Structure 1
Amino acid sequence: MTDTRSARPLLGAALPLEGLRMHRGWILERQRDLELQDFYAPDVLNGDWRPLAEQAKALLDGHRGRLGLHGPFLGFRLDSEDPEIRAIVARRLDQALDICAELGATQMVVHSPYTTWAHNNLDNHRHAREQLVGRVHQTMRAAVARAEGMGCTLVIENIEDKDPHARVALAASFGSPAVRVSLDTGHAHYAHGSTGAPPVDYYVHAAGNALQHVHLQDADGFADRHWHPGEGTVRWEAVFAAIAALESDPRLILEVREPAGLRKGAAHLERLGLAE
């Protein structure tokens, strides 16, 4: 979301409700984009999540930025070979879309199925790439159709992805405006440093205007640190230059392990002249 008072992009945040309470004034003051992270766990999805949703709605009163949700991911991949597991995953996605509908969320993050092992082995087995995509379609077909009707976009976030183009092609294979691409900068930097993947800005270039969501976190290229920007070795100037060339206006979402210090990373990016 671009702020009308500045050519620099406006930062948003991924927060649980506790973190939203801490930073609500900062979020509302500039109507920043927000991603809620309270609704992905199985016990929440299987339980009575409505009281939690009511708390969220109260905290969101007055919020006019774009709202998203982190979707479910614990304990599964979108490309499970087991049809019974795929059915469970499809139900989890549907449960999460119930919450999106309740809160008016227009975006939901889901995790890429591509692993480091897959990168080295998909071409070692005949039709393995097509079969992986087919299994993801079987898992997500109903969720994509529902998301289309709701005006909600499912954005596929890189996790272990070594090839930044594979996830982009997977999203495009649905032929739907309800499936697009997410980038996690720390995940990409881990893959770059530990598995020989390209640097983070290459992931932006690979996605192009399919990129509609970015998790901003810093890392050291070894692990998934979720440090504040400025604490690791991500080359932020290159990342933001690549983002600036896009027309898709991706949500730029700070996702850090220590929500209390969220504005530390925001201040670092502001000092660099990259965002506000």
Structure 2
Amino acid sequence: MIGISCGKLEDLPALRDFAEVHSLGLELQEFAQPEILDGEWRELLHRYRQALAGFSGPISLHGPFVDLFSGSVDPRIAAVAMDRYRQSLEIAAELGAWLVNFHLNYNPLVDESSYRPRWLERQVGFWAALALEAQEMGIRIALENMWEPDPFLQVEVIQKVNHFYVGACLDIGHAYLYSRVPLQAWINVLEPVLIYAHLHNTTGVQDRHLPLTHGAIPMEPVLSRLVRCLNRPMLILEMPSLAEIQESFPVLQRILQRVSWPQ
């Protein structure tokens, strides 16, 4: 499956048209914003449902991530994250989405030997609990890398949760920007649990979500490896505008033509 990101409702009509012409899915991102979730989100949800009426492609949702720490040592902070993520699942269910994407938000700047193993332990308990609720709704959870320095954090959390409804999302821009582990190694490590991927390029200095044709990432080898993953993860062109998506789509198309990619 291939999809494109949609940041705002006002952009949806043109993005929907492009998605329908090319048989793509849509990742909706506006419900990740805290001002939306604390505002008139039900009215916005109603407007999205109207705008998506009759759309037959797969729909996914980007969950909230700003200042949310599912692995927090403070249980009250973790509870806030859990409330937000449950809200996302509710919205996803109303939209008929098959997946919600959440960030792990590991902090690599914490210089304490006990941080990583204790963070992992708390993450496993957190996501195992949410997986049961996601299963009841029929919605899968994809855990995305943000500042994680290596892919083993994601793999360990997901394998210990050991639930079909929890898998990995690889954001290739984040992995390139915040990690010294090569992207090919990220894909190799994540492949057994990889169900979703965000595609965009980067300058190598800022998380800019550039089109695939611009930036520091050598896209040809990375995408060629990614499209051959055994689980056939859903690939999302995650860029801020239709123009950048239109510029990037032929790059992905050329690589997909070389493999037997399901429509």
TM-score (norm 1): 0.86
Choose from 177, 183, 186 the match for 1:200: 183
3-state SS, counterpart of residue 116 of structure 1: coil
Task: Tell me, in whole angstroms, the C-alpha distance in 2 between the residues paired with 1:206 and 1:134.
Answer: 20
2:161 matches 1:174: yes
Q: What SS does the aligned partner of 1:154 have?
A: strand
**1:159-215 deviation per Cα after TM superposition (whole angstroms, max 9, x unaligned):** 1111112211111211111110001111111124xxxx1222221111113111111
Alignment CA distance shift 1:259-1:26 (3 Å): closer
Q: Secondary structure at the match of 2:30?
A: coil
Which of residues 198, 202, 218 in structure 2 aligns to 1:215? 198
Which residue of structure 2 lines up, in the alignment, with residue 6 of structure 1? none
Residue 165 of structure 1 aligns with which residue?
A: 152
For residues 7-28 of structure 1, give each alpha carbon's deviation from its aligned partner in whole angstroms, at most 9, with x where no partner exists: xxxx311112222222221111
**Alignment partners' CA distance in 1, 2:136 and 2:104:** 23
Q: Does 1:144 align with 2:126?
A: no
Identity among equivalent positions (%) equals 30
Q: 2:230 aligns with which of 247, 260, 272?
A: 247
Shift of 1:231: 0.7
Matched with 2:260 is none
- Aligned-CA RMSD value: 1.9
Number of matched residues? 256
Distance 2:139 2:63 in 1: 12
TM-score if structure 2 supplies the norm length?
A: 0.90
Q: Which residue identity lines up with residue 103 of structure 1 in the other structure?
A: L
Match of 1:19 in 2: 11
Using the alignment, how far apart are the partners of 1:68 and 1:269 within structure 2? 20
**SS, match of residue 39 in structure 1:** helix
Match in the other structure for 2:141: 154
Distance 1:236 1:261, change over 3 A: closer
After the TM superposition, which segments of 4 or more aligned residues of structure 1 sit over 6 Å from their partners? none
Number of the residue aligned with 1:183: 170
Cα offset, 1:134, TM superposition: 2.4
Query: Secondary structure of the residue that 2:255 maps to in structure 1?
Result: coil
Q: Distance in 2 between matches of 1:198 and 1:140?
A: 25
Q: Tell me how far apart the structure 2 counterparts of residues 259 and 81 of structure 1 sit (CA, whole Å).
A: 40
